[in-house]
Structure 1
């Protein structure tokens, strides 16, 4: 009996367990998935929790219920991976493997920025990339009387690169509905030269920033948070004042990657961009936020990647060449407030293009255009996540690789 071990039962790991359980011969392969956490979070929902759009119960469920029958589930802490010895050390046992899938994700690391996780953490300085941070921010906003709100992210890469933008748009809508938008000074602070990583999307989003009276500070590389003066300060000593700071700290791979000596400076595992095989270890594959591939760290990317990775696992077992096909496909809704959203579709090669999605020439969704249909699509994704995506069920009419049909290529 051979052993395939999946580390991490988040989005990527759970999807891979569901994909592989029906494809690997049960008499030949034992599949084991390991995760220390009992709760599975719908992380895109953390964006909505602060604004009372989602409740706590809508963003979390017991993770084990999504692990398919036939997969050995172990809820324990992963201490270290020994890739040269083909073993994983847990808190009180050791697992041997023939194939390893690393799906350990990434986490915020506010301690990487001086003063960020200081005395005002979750008091006037908040994150919304964790359940705890998002919930604390919701409780703060319910009673907040207004002032200078700064929405900021530290550096790329981060999970869901559009989330900070979505937050500032939803904040504008939230305070407008509460009748206090005139009491809130909204500023978006980014280390990038524009609102987003892609020029075409930046042009569309910059227009929305002006329309909503949201100030934008670009090329801001934060050096520290001054908790006494309520300022964020960059390496050029530029200071931005705040009464309420909503920040996305540095994102880093799991500490087990560092302990195992398998990662880069941010604990992301060097991974072949098109096959999803580890650069350094032939029988190790990496998926989702744990990898260093230059694609968005988002659930849609993990979903598309899981289909290619499943094929490549089977090819590897059969001793056949791997498919070099994964193209970094990402499909993201960008909430713009007031029950509207943009939809962007892009990959390693193409930045977001105008057009229709998912059916060429028909839609019904428009790319790079605000619409209520896109907003409904964003909200519908929560049902799709729990009922299709985690279970490895293909999303109808949406291919793993980016289709250029129905899109305008300049």
Structure 2
């Protein structure tokens, strides 16, 4: 009996368990999935919790309900991986493997910035990338009387790169509905040279910040937080005052990767961007936020990766060459407030394009344009997540690789073959 071990029962790990269990003979392969958490969180829902748009119950479920029958579930923390010994050291014991899938995700690391985890943490300084942070921020916003709201990104990469902008747009809508928008000064602070992570989005969608009266501070590399004076300060000593700071701390890979000694500076696993095989050892594959591939750290990417990785696991077992096919495909809804949203579609080579999705010239979703229909699509994704995506059920008409049919390609925003296939 051979052993396939999956580390992490979040979005990516759970999908892989559901994809692979029906395809690997139970008499030949034992599949084990390891995670330290009982609860599975719908992380895109954390964006809506602070504004009372989702309830706590809508964003969390028992993770074991999504693990397929025939997969062994181990609830323990992971100490480290020993690739040469094909062994994983857990909190209480060790397990060996023939194949390993690392799906340990990423986490916020507020301790990386001086002063971020000071006495004001969850008092006037908040995150919304954790369940606890989103709830604490919800309670704060319910009674907050206004002032200087600063929405801040520490550094890239981060999970769901558009989420901080979505938070900013939803905050504008939230305070308008409460009749207190004039009491709130909103500033968006980013280490990038534009508001959006993609150049084409900054070019075509920058009007949204001006339209919503949001101040923009770019190229801000934070050094520290002065909690006494309530300022964020960058390495050039530029200062921005706040009454309420909503920050996205540094995102890092799981600490078990650091203890294993093969992660990059942020503990992400070196991974072939086309095959999703690790560069650490041939028997190790990586998926989702745990990789260092230059794709968006978003749920849609993990979904598309899972389809390629499933094929490649089966090919690897059969001794066949791996498919070098993953193209970094991502599509993301961007909430813009007032029941509207944008949709962007892109990959390694192509920045977000205009056009329709998923059908050429028909849609019904519009790319790079605000619409109520896109907002409904964003809300519908929660049902799709719990009932299809986690269970490995294909989403109709949405392919793993980006289709250019019905899309307007601007060569000024196309990278060409920029990702090596080797």
TM-superposed CA distance for 1:99, in Å, is 0.1
Aligned to 2:416: none
Other structure's SS at 2:14 match: helix
Indicate conservation of the 8 Å contact 1:195/1:205, yes or no. no
Q: How does 1:275-290 map to 2 (within 5 A)?
A: 275-290=275-290
Aligned to 1:41: 41
Q: Distance in 2 between matches of 1:205 and 1:252?
A: 29
Indicate conservation of the 8 Å contact 1:275/1:326, yes or no. yes
Q: Distance in 2 between matches of 1:204 and 1:183?
A: 29
Indicate conservation of the 8 Å contact 1:388/1:394, yes or no. yes
Aligned to 2:104: 104
The answer to whether residue 189 in structure 2 is matched with residue 195 in structure 1 is no
TM-superposed CA distance for 1:204, in Å, is 2.9
- What is the TM-score normalised by the length of structure 1? 1.00
Q: Distance in 2 between matches of 1:390 and 1:175?
A: 34
Indicate conservation of the 8 Å contact 1:50/1:135, yes or no. yes
Indicate conservation of the 8 Å contact 1:335/1:342, yes or no. yes
Q: Distance in 1 between matches of 2:315 and 2:117?
A: 46
Task: Point out where structure 1 has 5 or more consecutive residues left out of the alignment.
Answer: none
Q: Deviations over 1:279-314 (max 9, x none)?
A: 120000000000100000000000000000000000
Runs of 4+ aligned structure 1 residues displaced above 4 Å come to none
- What is the TM-score normalised by the length of structure 2? 0.97
Q: Distance in 1 between matches of 2:202 and 2:328?
A: 19
TM-superposed CA distance for 1:43, in Å, is 0.3
Aligned to 1:394: 394
Q: Distance in 1 between matches of 2:13 and 2:73?
A: 11
Aligned to 2:415: none
Report the aligned-residue RMSD.
Answer: 0.5
Aligned to 1:17: 17
TM-superposed CA distance for 1:78, in Å, is 1.0
Other structure's SS at 1:73 match: strand
Q: Distance in 1 between matches of 2:213 and 2:131?
A: 29
Other structure's SS at 1:129 match: coil
Aligned to 1:292: 292
Indicate conservation of the 8 Å contact 1:271/1:292, yes or no. yes
Q: Distance in 2 between matches of 1:198 and 1:309?
A: 26
TM-superposed CA distance for 1:205, in Å, is 2.8
Q: Distance in 1 between matches of 2:409 and 2:78?
A: 46
Aligned length: 410
TM-superposed CA distance for 1:373, in Å, is 0.3
Other structure's SS at 1:263 match: coil
Aligned to 1:230: 230
TM-superposed CA distance for 1:393, in Å, is 0.7
Aligned to 1:168: 168
Aligned to 1:406: 406
Other structure's SS at 1:172 match: helix
Aligned to 2:414: none
Q: How does 1:34-113 map to 2 (within 5 A)?
A: 34-113=34-113
Aligned to 2:118: 118
TM-superposed CA distance for 1:26, in Å, is 1.1
Aligned to 1:274: 274
Q: Deviations over 1:197-224 (max 9, x none)?
A: 2111112331000001000000000000
Q: How does 1:226-265 map to 2 (within 5 A)?
A: 226-265=226-265
Indicate conservation of the 8 Å contact 1:148/1:243, yes or no. yes
